[in-house]
């Protein structure tokens, strides 16, 4: 038996037949988590290290990639020690997707901050290129938005002439956080396909960088790391002989954690941001307002997903804490929302709206709400904005869904009773709360150990049945009218 260190958690296993362990590292918006799995799918040890985001200006959200790398290093060695005499079979990474930076090719040293997925400082680039948005989306499966790689790249080199010179000399890579981390951890550079979709220069149909998109954003092909499948031999980690064999987007891993690679599976996830994910099978499906991405790939197969992202989920309530002077301890948004009703509509603009409208950042919108009235009313309206976006995303998914889902599963820290009931009432679909913790980590593990089998349906502990009403119909109409006003 080994000891737990640095605040991690350990579960003792008495069976001696577990001959191989697996390491999963999940690097998210505000922390990096690590998990040691055995061959039976049990988590033997876990720990996490928090890291901060910086918001130096409006619409600027960034982090230090070196700090995240250091967290991965610390946690990796912690898990190696925890595994003791049991060998590590392989390691997999799940990473936040739309975080981009420049780094030196030779030293792998970051030369810019990592622009977080919430960062929309490149909104002027997105506005400038709006006439190319439809063609770009048809090629990449991704709507034109300041949150993604191409606009962030062009913004950075326009604002920094010295950076542009180094790019011209071929000294730098530009890419997602995942590519920086995998190179720093193994010495081998590459952008795997599930996160490459967030660059806005990946051709979803051909599986290669798009010459049209590269030209549009003035990106030299040599500035981007080479493309790789999700699952491959990326090299050995740090100074060990333990291989990294999987790098994948966190939301892709979350869907796989619940339903594996089952075509037509659908799920929702509510964390810092929110997401509705649909497994489209082995052909890409490009839908207006949504993102088509690679779900999983290896050298022989490729699966695709269609996704609607919601920028403001738990981050919405952190924003409202600041706006209304509510301490984090006193927020308890689920309790406030459960005991409050409102006829008003709140549209969060502080981080913009992603799917299905793709509106750049704007001031929050209050419709039939008094900003100075009861705080819980604003919190309730904020919560409802999440559900209303889920409903809009599901409407956009209708062309590829064979039928209305019999059950919509919901996971994540934001998947709380009043929100799930509101979604059920809006959509007319029963919503099942998934009690599965660390669904992203389980998704990575399932891909590392394909022999592992689990029944995800057993993880549903609560089902919220629809209770439609005229009030719900009126709320939908008021929401659509408010959204249309912003779009104009």
- Give 145-196 pLDDT, tens digit per residue: 999 999 999 999 999 999 999 999 999 999 999 999 999 999 999 999 999 9
Residue 129 to residues 172, 219, 221, 364: CA-CA distances in angstroms? 25, 15, 20, 25
Query: For position 17, what pLDDT does the model report?
Result: 40
For helices 314-324 and 375-397, give the axis angle rounded to 10 degrees. 150
What's the pLDDT at 376? 93
- Splitting the chain (488 residues) into consecutive groups of 10 residues, what average pLDDT does each group show? 41 48 94 95 95 91 96 97 94 96 97 94 94 96 95 97 96 98 96 96 97 97 97 95 96 88 91 91 94 96 95 91 92 94 91 90 89 88 96 95 89 93 96 88 94 72 92 92 86
Query: Cα–Cα distance between 272 and 451 in angstroms, integer?
Result: 32
Torsion angle of the four alpha carbons 279, 271, 353, 332, in this order, in degrees rounded to the nearest 10: 140
Q: Which two tokens stand for residue 210?
A: 């798009």
Q: Which strands, in side-by-side order, build the sheet including 231-236?
A: 9-10, 43-50, 31-38, 20-27, 87-95, 243-249, 231-236
**Can you say whether the dihedral through the CA atoms of 460, 462, 467, 471 is positive or negative?**
negative
Res 1: pLDDT: 26
- According to the model, what pLDDT value does residue 16 have? 38
pLDDT value of residue 361: 81
Residue 451 confidence (pLDDT): 85
- Return the exposure string of 352-380: e unless at least 16 CB atoms fall within 10 Å of the residue's CB, then b: bbbbbbbebbeebbbeebeeeeebbbbbb
Please identify, in words, the CATH class of the domain defined by 9-248: alpha beta
Distance between CA atoms of residues 230 and 244, nearest Å: 11
d(CA 26, CA 72) in angstroms, rounded, equals 9
The whole-model pTM stands at 0.88
Run of H or E including 72: helix 65-83
Name the residue ranges covered by the structural domains of the chain.
Answer: 9-248
Both tokens of 337, joined, read: 């929302």
- pLDDT, position 457: 57
Q: What is the pLDDT of residue 439?
A: 86
Per-residue pLDDT, 4: 35
At 429, is the secondary structure helix, strand, or coil? coil
| Rounded distance between C-alpha atoms, residue 215 and residue 170, angstroms | 17
């Amino acid at each position: 038996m080994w000891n737990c260190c640095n605040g991690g958690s350990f579960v003792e296993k008495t069976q001696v037949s577990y001959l191989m362990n697996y390491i999963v590292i999940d690097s998210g918006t505000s922390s990096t988590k690590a998990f040691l799995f055995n061959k039976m799918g049990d988590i033997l040890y876990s720990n996490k290290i928090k890291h901060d985001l910086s918001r130096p200006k409006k619409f600027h959200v960034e982090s230090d990639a070196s700090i995240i790398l250091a967290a991965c290093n610390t946690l990796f060695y912690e898990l190696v020690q925890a595994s003791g005499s049991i060998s590590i079979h392989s390691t997999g990474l799940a990473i936040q997707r739309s975080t981009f930076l420049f780094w030196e090719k030779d030293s792998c040293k970051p030369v810019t901050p990592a622009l977080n997925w919430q960062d929309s400082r490149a909104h002027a680039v997105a506005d400038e290129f709006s006439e190319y948005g439809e063609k770009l989306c048809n090629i990449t499966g991704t709507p034109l938005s300041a949150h993604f790689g191409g606009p962030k790249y062009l913004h950075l080199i326009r604002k920094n002439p010295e950076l542009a010179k180094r790019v011209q000399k071929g000294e730098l890579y530009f890419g997602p956080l995942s590519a920086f981390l995998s190179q720093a951890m193994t010495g081998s550079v590459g952008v795997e396909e599930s996160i490459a979709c967030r660059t806005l220069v990946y051709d979803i149909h051909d599986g290669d960088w798009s010459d049209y998109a590269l030209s549009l954003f003035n990106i030299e092909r040599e500035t981007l790391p080479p493309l790789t499948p999700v699952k491959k031999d990326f090299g050995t980690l740090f100074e060990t002989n333990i291989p990294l064999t999987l790098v994948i987007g966190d939301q892709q891993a979350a869907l796989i954690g619940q339903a594996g690679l089952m075509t037509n599976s659908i799920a929702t996830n509510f964390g810092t941001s929110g997401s509705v994910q649909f497994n489209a099978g082995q052909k890409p499906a490009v839908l207006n307002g949504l993102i088509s991405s690679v779900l999983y790939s290896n050298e022989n197969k490729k699966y695709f997903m269609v996704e609607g992202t919601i920028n403001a989920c738990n981050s919405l309530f952190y924003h409202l804490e600041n706006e209304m002077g509510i301490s984090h301890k006193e927020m308890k948004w689920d309790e406030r929302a459960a005991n409050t009703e409102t006829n008003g509509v709140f549209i969060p603009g502080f981080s913009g709206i992603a799917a299905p409208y793709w509106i750049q950042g704007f001031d929050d919108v209050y419709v039939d709400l008094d900003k100075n009235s009861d705080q819980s009313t604003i919190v309730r309206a904020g919560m409802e904005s999440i559900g209303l976006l889920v409903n809009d995303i599901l409407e956009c998914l209708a062309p590829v869904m064979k039928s209305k889902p019999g059950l919509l599963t919901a996971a994540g820290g934001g998947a709380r009773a009043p929100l799930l009931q509101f979604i059920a009432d809006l959509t007319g679909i029963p919503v099942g709360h998934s009690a599965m913790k660390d669904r992203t980590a389980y998704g990575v593990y399932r891909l590392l150990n394909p022999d592992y089998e689990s029944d995800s349906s057993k993880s549903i502990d609560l089902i919220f049945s629809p209770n439609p009403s005229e009030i719900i119909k009126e709320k939908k109409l008021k929401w659509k009218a408010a959204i249309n006003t912003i779009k104009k």
